[in-house]
Chains A and B, each alone.
Chain A
Amino acid sequence: MFKAPVAMPTLIETRRLDKSFGSVHALHQVSLAFVRGEVHGLIGENGAGKSTLMRILAGLVQPDGGQVFHRDKPLRLKGPGDALARGIVMIHQELNLVDELTVADNIFLGREPTRGGIIDRQAMRQRSGELLADLHAQLDPDTFVKDLSIGQQQMVEIVKAMSQDASLLIVDEPTAALSGSEARLLFSLIARLKARGTTIIYISHILPEVLAVCDRITVLRDGQVVTTLDRDQLTGETRDKERHLAGLMVGRPMGDHFPPRQRAGDQSAIELRGISLPGLVHGVSLSIKRGEILGLAGLIGAGRTELAEAVVGLRRRSGGEILIEGRPVVINTVRDAVRLGLAYLSEDRRGRGLLMGMSITANITMVSLRRYCRPLISPAAEHEAVASHRAAMGIRMGQPSHPIESLSGGNQQKVALAKWLEISPRVLILDEPTRGVDIGAKEEIYNLIVKLAAQGMACLLISSEINEVLGLSHRVAVMRQGRLMAVMDVCNATEKSVMYHAAGVDAVAEATATVTSAL
């Protein structure tokens, strides 16, 4: 099924792994080999079995059938301790560091060097310093973890793993919370680990990243291995490679998945004049017409989310004016924004966008609940509303009274959108609307956005996926470090020109250089 690279022995191999959760068959006869010193990409839609497979390797879950082999010997992992003892370390999306301890404390947490029963802080700091220097991680061992950026914290996790002699490092969506420059640092760190012979399993939704970082790529679908490809087996432009991988993930050929744009209107729906937030956003002026989709690109930390939150009254502005349909308006709270027909779909679906403990129905009617009171909330009217959204958006769900957690990421996102469509907004601000959403559901959300714009809604589309911005928007705005750098008509915008404004020309050159030289 796959060609092992020359002369590289297999580190870990799974043979016919099976795992079910209740009626869900999460893994079905999965046989895979991971060789020493390779970066092995693992891709698939949500629910394809990636996490289950990795959790088995990390000793967190026991398989129902099949076996794991470590250096050709059968290996039974009864718990995460067993995996750690074999040098298998998994770095989760939610990092496991103690905020109130220093970098050195965290690296040696639970196995502190002692002298006479007392922690030898001197030795601990020195060892940490060496480990950090070894991996070119420019961090001070005495810094408190709470003062580090997410990227730096992730680096501490990796250094910690390496200090435990990790031979297999599993990273799950490592760049999800990183800025561009932090991601570049991570890539070069991965390259260094690889050069030392560490095997890395790289799980990610972001296909260009997988293509840049991984030597081999395994595609999972419905708990089964679809194929394992050498990177060199993929041909054509980056876009063609992505499309090929995406097709393997969903099990059907992927077209150009952006629906055709409709014409934007002429009337201005919303105009921002000199919006400022101290230290975050500096004098941003923009206007969006009815029926127009304005893409807002930029790196993480460019101030796009902060700008959006300031517009809908979630953050206190230090200056600026907002005009809706030409009239100046006052927006101090989200309630003001809702009254004026402004809706903001948060990028943080689980933490801010939805109420995870509550039912699908309660989430959908949360903002528009007043409409369902006569004077008591009418469950029948609520269910009717849920049914109509379900039909209109193709939400795949069980009972409306089921908790929102029971839905997949894509369907949760549809519910989050439905909640805002309930107020029939004039202006819809979409912050990373397809984050953590399967490719199939992505297409549906794209179609929906275009349809809403065609109905006259003005959309501000904030996205870190340049493809998405270029594929959907009428115009593209780019922010960098809190400033609006450019607004371009989409026919004049390219991936390169957007990156140029988002990162600055030097950063782009550097990034290309790092990725190509490091890998």
Chain B
Amino acid sequence: MPSTSTANSTRTPLTNLPSWTGALVALLLLMAVTVAIEYARSGTTAFISPENLINILRQWSFVGIIAIGMTFVIITGGIDLSVGSLLAFVGGLGILTLNALLANDVSEWLAVVVAGVVIIGSGTLAGLLNGLLIAKGRLAPFIATLGGLAAYRALAQTLADGGEFRSQSFNLFPLLGSGGIPVPFTNVAPNAPLPVPLTIPWPVVIFLIMAAAASIVLNRTRFGRYALATGSNERAAVYSAINVDRIKLATYSLVGACTGVAALLLASRMNSISSGQTGGLTELDAIAAVVIGGTRMSGGSGSIGGTVLGVLILGVAGNMLNMLGVNPYLQGLVKGLIIIAAVLVQRRKIS
């Protein structure tokens, strides 16, 4: 009795807040707790330093880029489990292309550009294939992409004979993943003879630019609106003259392209791809980031800002546990609890 009325009255202001409010609060809490523990222990914080924060961002930018595409897929009511394996496969494909071109005396510039095109292009094509299986073949997204998860890993391992793809470009190719934009007037090495400016790595820059663009695409373009409509009620979307199949093809192609970008940056950063290890469980990290960010698993609502926050929460949580010296084997437990807590909080908000 009174419970219904209180639920009603407290819900009204909550619904006016953006869906990622919860994620933002959680992130700030997590950071505050970390800093508090650090101060209690040593009277200073290493966590909040720019280098550390940038380091977190760099480590998670690859997952973040994939999570941007995943947000669109989940918003349409789908899922893509193949991205982790695909990351290793297209990354490997790119390195093979690069090495083959260099072996044939093609200039390093051209080889890197062609490899990049191959990586992003083949990622997009793989996404399109998923989309075709789902939209035209009427396969459940979980099943279609589960097939990809197994298949692309197998392809990668076959190509590398179970080992690593190693790039033969030692000057140009690694720049993309390791270089960055220096921030003027900063110095991260005060004792060095010359100032060493703080550098924002390219993967972080690209992640943030892509997130900003994706947010505009989701909220201000027909594609974004139609993706939301498709996930909200596919049949009603068809009745509203929306080409639902085309929207699905586009979202899966998009997550494929994002996976390609992540693969390019990751291959460049490591200058190699491990056919067995790279991208392992990346699909679950990406999905977790999307869900923590407040996007509804059943589709129809979500935000890119939330996904970015979700990525940051996962990154900060891992980093915090590292800095506090928690057993690394326990970190999965914390990640699991965060995911479950995020969904529980959202459930309460919806019902």
Contacts and interface: CB of A to CB of B under 8 A. Distances in A.
A21 B4 CA distance: 7
B243 A62 contact: no
A138 B81 CA distance: 49
A367 interface: yes
Given A63-B1, A314-B239, A370 B222 contact: yes
Interface string B2-14: 1011001100100
A74 B126 CA distance: 68
Contacts, number: 80
B9 A22 contact: yes
B138 to A, nearest CB: 16
B221 interface: yes
Interface residues of A, number: 33
A419 B225 contact: no
Contact of B232 (A352, A353, A356): A356
Interface string B230-252: 00110111111111000000000
B216 interface: yes
A155 to B, nearest CB: 28
Interface in A343-383: 344, 346, 351-358, 362, 366-367, 369-370, 373, 375-377
Contacts of B9: 22
A343 B101 CA distance: 56
A357 B233 contact: yes
A355 B236 contact: yes
Nearest to B235: A352
B350 to A, nearest CB: 10
Nearest to B296: A357
Given A64-B1, A335-B241, A352 B236 contact: yes
Given A21-B8, A335-B241, A356 B216 contact: no
A227 interface: no
B305 interface: no
B212 to A, nearest CB: 13
B76 to A, nearest CB: 13
A376 B12 CA distance: 30
B240 A334 contact: yes
A337 interface: yes
Given A335-B241, A351-B235, A353-B239, A373 B229 contact: no
A497 interface: no
A355 B233 contact: yes
Given A369-B222, A377-B220, A377-B222, A356 B233 contact: yes
Nearest to B222: A369
B222 A373 contact: yes
A375 B216 CA distance: 12
A27 interface: no
B300 interface: yes
Contacts of A337: 241
Interface string A83-114: 00000000000000000000000000000000
Nearest to B242: A366
Contacts of B243: 333, 335
B229 A62 contact: no
A185 interface: no
A355 B1 contact: no
B301 interface: yes
A393 B248 CA distance: 35
A494 interface: no
B228 interface: yes
A311 interface: no
Interface string A167-203: 0000000000000000000000000000000000000
A351 B300 CA distance: 14
Contacts of B2: 64
B221 A366 contact: no
Interface string B200-241: 000000000000000010011110011011001101111111
Given A22-B9, A358-B228, A373-B221, A367 B235 contact: no
A63 B4 CA distance: 11
A377 B229 contact: no
Given A64-B1, A376-B220, 20 more contacts: A20-B5, A21-B8, A22-B9, A334-B239, A335-B241, A346-B239, A351-B233, A352-B233, A352-B239, A354-B236, A355-B240, A356-B233, A358-B228, A366-B225, A366-B229, A369-B222, A369-B226, A370-B222, A377-B219, A377-B221
29 contacts: A21-B4, A21-B5, A21-B8, A22-B8, A22-B9, A22-B12, A64-B2, A333-B243, A335-B243, A346-B239, A351-B235, A355-B240, A356-B233, A356-B236, A357-B232, A357-B233, A357-B301, A358-B228, A358-B229, A362-B225, A362-B228, A366-B229, A367-B240, A369-B222, A373-B221, A373-B222, A376-B216, A377-B225, A419-B240
The 6 closest A-B pairs by CB, nearest first: A22-B8, A376-B220, A357-B232, A334-B241, A62-B1, A357-B300
